[in-house]
Every structure is written in structure tokens, then in C-alpha cells.
Structure 1
Amino acid sequence: MNRYRQALLTLLTLPFWQYAYAQDPGPRQQHAALRDMIEQFLHTQAAGLPGNASISVGAIDPRLNLAACPSPEAFFPAGSRAWGRTTVGVRCTAPASWTIYVPATVRVHGDYFVAAAPLAQGQTIGQNDIRKVKGDLTTQPAGVITDASQAIGRSLAISAPAGAALRQDTLRAQQAIQQGQTVRITTNGPGFRVSAEARALTNANEGQVVQARTASGQVVSGVARMGGIVEVTY
């Protein structure tokens, strides 16, 4: 009896933190399961990217002793995305509430286009002016060209040395129509095609909306195409 009494007295005189440590903490969250969930989350987020994504999830601090969570949720903190070096948050709301942040890297391997030779400012890009290369798109400048049609027929706003990655923000669409120019308005529909001459009221690049006045004085709007064509859709 004295032995049990001594044990009880000892427990009652322990500092609170030692008493708490002596209690059963319950099941703990496995870090490996969280890393697997983060990897799957990033694969889902990267599904629509222009290339093949490879994902590396960083280590979780082994000192983190988290309560087991039946439904942890992965999320992107503000400013993070599935591109290059990033951060993924994981939170739990029940039975315990906790949130952690884990570093990760998303590499996207795909095709992009570079200058095949030195290109001058204002030069219109042709098929032979560019070449396709493979690499990690996340290490390239924002807006790198991944489809040849994004570059061919456009002009350069700045010069580009051979091998330089082409970017959308450095390319300009060619002017398709000039103000005052005689244009041909075309309208297509089920089983018919109508065309008529008109005079352009504004300048327009390829793909931009332009207004033109017909011989009867009617003002119509359509999409500018190379060769002085205005496509009108009703």
C-alpha cells in the first residue's frame, strides 16, 4: 500500500509539463502520408501545363509531432502555384487543428522555341527563323513561346540573339489593315458565303476587331485578317 501511495504522491508533485508528457498522446500523423498527398495534389494542379511535370516534395521537419488527421487538406498559400520552386500548405481541422507548410519543386519538361539566328527588331518571323528545343519550361522567361503559330508572322519588338528564347511579350502582330484601305468583307453561314467591298475606318492587327463602311454607308465590325479581309459573323 505504501508503494502505491508513494507513486501517487510523486505523480501529484510532478510539474505540469512532465505530467502532460507522461500521458498517452494518441495516434500521430505519418509524415510520409502527407508527402504522398502533396505530390498527388501537385500532379493534379499541373495536369493542364504545356509539358510533362516532374514533382519533388521537400522533407517535413521530423520534430513536428502532429496529431493524426483523417482528412488533411492540401492548398496553395497566396502567391504559390504548381510552377518551379513552390510551397504547399496542409491543414487539419479535426480532431486537432494544425497547419504546416512544405517546400516542393515542379519542373515542366516540354518544347519551346528560340531564335535560329540573330533576329533584328521589327523583323517578321518566318518558319526558318525559329527552332524548337526541349527543356524545363519553369526556368525560362514568363510567356515563352511553346507553339510555332504564336511566333510565325509576327514581328519582333526587340532584337534577339541566336538561341534566345522567344517570348510573347516581345512579339507584335502584323498590321493586317490600314485606315482608309479598301477591304473585302466576308460573311459565312450555313450553305452561303457573301462578300463585298468596304473601306476600313481604323487600323487593325491580325485578329483584332476593325470597323469598315460599305458602299451603302453601313458600318460593320469584323475580325481583321491578312490580305485586307474582314470576317463578319452574325
Structure 2
Amino acid sequence: MSAAVEQFLEAQTKGLPGAVSYTFGPLDRHAQQAACSAFEPFLPPGNRLWGRSTIGVRCLGPTAWSVYVPVQVKITGKHLSAARQLAAGQVIAESDLSLVDGDLGALPATVLTDPRQAIGKALRNGLAAGQALRSDALITPWAVQQGQMVKLLANGPGFTVTNEGKALSNATDGQLIQVRTNSGQIVSGIARHGGVVEVRY
């Protein structure tokens, strides 16, 4: 049974960032004594192989039974942290980040490991220097905000037309947005940073 658990852990932790090591608790007495021809390890719903976790093991025969085994997954790797104190709403630049070595398994599973996951996004709340950066702490900033005057840019084969209008909603970079032109016409386009909306014909 230990071999089945170990194979399962090895397969399930293969894609995790960093160097992975794990330990699992002793199997209960019933599991050690009961006859079993085949074991099937599984991850109980809501569990992740990250830090302290639990895996289940089913016996497929001759008698069906299940046990749960505590596991500790240690992931040694680099994660992002704040290089200095960062304010809420601040848009992250590369200079705001530092890569730190540590046990990712001791941090939330939402911890970020690649600067590209954070650069250009804004912080929901302030961060102290050295604090780990998590995906749930970031929001994509609006490229265009409702009521903002925007520049409409229409490109077609051999022509470019510019116009102005008022954004009818908020949109992040790359999102579809509707704009009311000065003449009252409503057009749709793709929001871009800098208050630009690209209209395609």
C-alpha cells in the first residue's frame, strides 16, 4: 500500500513548481492487516497536494474499504514577494517584485512564481515589503472607465479613422466595450490602455 501511495504522490506532484518532497503518515492498523489485492489512491474533494493535505486509499478487493492518509508536501522553489511596501491600487512593475526562495507548500496555493503573472496588474490591498504575492491579491486594472472620453480608432484596408466618444462601461485591456460617439451613435470596439478603443470594420 505504501508503494501505491508513493506512486500516486509522485505522479500528482510532477507539475508543481520547484523541487517537491513529501512525507505521509503511518497507515492505520486496519489498513495494515486487512487483505487487499489492489489499492487505488485518490484525492478527496476539496484537497490539494500542497502543504498539509490528505489522500484517500481504496481497497478494490476482495473486500472494499477506504482509509485516509495525512501527507505533507514540501515544495522548494522561488516565489514572488514585494520588494518594497506597495500601496492598494498600485500597478505592479518589475522593480516592485523580488524572487525569494522558500517552501511554497507552506504558502497559499495562489502564491505567484513568475513575474509575468503580476506585472501590469493592480493590488487589491497594500503589501508590506517581503510579503508573498498571491493571484487573489491582484486585479486587472481598467483600461477604460465608464463615462471616460475615449479615442476611437478605426482601421480598415488602406484607411485609419479617428473619432471621440464616451465609454458606456468599464473594460480591461482587450475587452469589448460600447462607446457613444459625439453624434450619438453607439459603436463597439476593443478597449486598449491609454483610453483608446479599436473599432474594426
Q: TM-score range, shorter-chain basis?
A: 0.7 to 0.9
| Cα pair distance change 1:165/1:36, threshold 3 Å | same
Corresponding residue number in structure 2 for 1:87: 54
Question: What is the SS of the residue equivalent to 1:107?
Answer: strand
Distance 1:89 1:157 in 2: 37
Would you say how many aligned residue pairs link Structure 1 and Structure 2? 196
Structure 1 residue runs without a partner (length 5+):
1-33
1:149 lines up with 2:116 in the alignment: yes
After TM superposition, the structure 1 = structure 2 runs for residues 1-234 of structure 1, keeping only pairs within 5 Å, are 34-62=1-29, 64-69=32-37, 71-178=38-145, 179-185=147-153, 196-198=161-163, 199=165, 200-213=167-180, 217=185, 219-222=187-190, 224-230=191-197
Equivalent residue letter for 1:68: C
Deviation at 1:145, TM superposition (A): 2.2
**Higher strand residue share:** 2
Aligned residues of 2:18 and 2:78 also touching (Cα < 8 A): yes
What is the alpha-carbon distance in structure 2 between the residues aligned to residue 194 and residue 38 of structure 1? 64
Please say if residues 86 and 128 of structure 2, whose CA atoms lie closer than 8 Å, have aligned partners that are also in contact: yes
Conserved? CA contact 2:76–2:101, under 8 Å: yes
CA offsets per residue over residues 13-60 of structure 1, 9 Å max, x none? xxxxxxxxxxxxxxxxxxxxx112112212222233333322222222
After superposition, the Cα gap between the structure-2 partners of 1:121 and 1:94, relative to the gap in structure 1 and judged at 3 Å, is closer
| Identity over aligned pairs, percent | 42
Distance 1:144 1:195 in 2: 43
TM-score, normalised with respect to structure 1? 0.70
Say which SS state the counterpart of residue 33 (structure 2) adopts. coil
Could you tell me how far apart the structure 2 residues matched to 1:116 and 1:147 are?
Answer: 14
User: Which 10-residue stretch deviates more, 194-203 or 105-114?
Assistant: 194-203
For the aligned residue pairs, the C-alpha RMSD in angstroms reads 2.9
Partner SS, residue 112 of structure 1: strand
Conserved in 2, the CA contact under 8 Å of 1:112 and 1:147?
A: yes
Give me the whole-angstrom Cα distance separating, in 2, the residues matched to 1:142 and 1:164.
15
Give the CA deviation at 1:74. Answer: 0.9
Write the distance in 2 (CA, Å) between the matches of 1:229 and 1:43. 49
Contact 1:186 1:229 in 2 (8 A): no
Partners of 2:128 and 2:172 in 1: CA distance: 26
Higher helix share: 1
